[in-house]
C-alpha cells in the first residue's frame, strides 16, 4: 500500500480563532483542486526508479473523508469488482500524450489500481469541516508506456456518504523518457 501524506488545515487552532471570524463553510460534497507534481528517485538516482509526488487541495464540509477501518483491505475480488473499487477514496487516473491527444493508461494489473485508501480524517469536536492537502506518490518506474514527453493525472475524491467530488485534471507535466 502506498504512503500518502495528508496536511490538514482545519481545526488546528480552533480555540484561538473561533471568536475572530466565523468558521468557513464548505459543501458536504468533497471538492478538489490540483496543486503540483514533483519527481524524485526512490533510493539513489542510479536506481532510476522514479516516483511522482502528486498534491491536491481538498475541502469537505462534514469531514467524512477516509476509511473508518484503518485496516481496510485492498485485496482484489474480481467476482465483485465494484465492491473492490468501493474501498478506495482517492481515485487517480493516469494519461500519456500520444499523437497529440491524451490517452488513459490503465494499470498493468486491475488488482493494483492507481487509487488510494485514505485513513479516517474526521475531526473531533463540533466543527467537522476539513481542508488540507493530500500528497500521494505515483510509482513511475514502468512509465511512460508510450514515446511521450507529457503526462497528466485526473483525480476524484469520494467521502464515506458516497458523495463524489468533481473530477479535477492536473496541469500537463513534462517528462523525459
Write the pLDDT tens digit of every residue in 85-96: 788 899 999 999
The pTM for the full model equals 0.81
With 80 as the cut, is the pLDDT of residue 9 above it? Answer: no
In this predicted structure, what is the pLDDT of residue 134? 94
Sign of CA dihedral 162, 158, 7, 115: positive
In this predicted structure, what is the pLDDT of residue 171? 97
Comparing 75 with 72, the larger pLDDT belongs to 75
In this predicted structure, what is the pLDDT of residue 162? 92
Mean pLDDT for 98-110 is 92
Q: CA-to-CA distance for 17 and 114, rounded, in angstroms?
A: 38
Q: CA-to-CA distance for 31 and 12, rounded, in angstroms?
A: 20
Q: Where are the domains of the chain?
A: 5-174
pLDDT-derived band at 74, boundaries 50, 70, 90 = low
Amino acid at each position: 500500500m502506498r504512503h500518502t501524506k495528508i496536511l490538514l488545515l482545519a481545526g488546528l487552532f480552533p480555540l484561538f480563532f473561533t471568536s475572530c471570524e466565523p468558521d468557513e463553510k464548505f459543501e458536504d460534497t468533497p471538492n478538489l483542486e490540483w496543486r503540483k507534481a514533483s519527481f524524485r528517485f526512490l533510493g539513489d538516482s542510479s536506481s532510476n526508479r522514479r516516483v511522482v509526488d502528486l498534491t491536491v487541495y481538498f475541502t469537505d464540509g462534514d469531514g467524512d473523508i477516509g476509511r473508518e477501518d484503518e485496516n481496510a483491505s485492498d485485496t482484489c475480488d474480481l467476482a465483485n469488482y465494484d465492491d473492490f473499487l468501493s474501498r478506495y477514496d482517492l481515485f487517480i487516473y493516469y494519461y500519456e500524450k500520444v499523437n497529440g491527444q491524451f490517452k488513459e493508461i490503465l494499470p498493468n494489473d486491475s488488482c493494483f489500481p492507481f487509487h488510494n485508501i485514505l485513513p479516517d480524517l474526521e475531526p473531533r469536536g463540533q466543527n467537522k469541516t476539513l481542508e488540507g492537502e493530500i500528497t500521494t506518490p505515483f510509482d513511475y518506474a514502468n512509465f511512460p508506456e508510450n514515446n511521450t514527453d507529457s503526462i497528466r493525472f485526473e483525480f476524484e475524491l469520494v467521502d464515506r456518504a458516497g458523495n463524489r467530488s468533481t473530477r479535477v485534471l492536473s496541469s500537463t507535466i513534462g517528462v523525459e523518457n
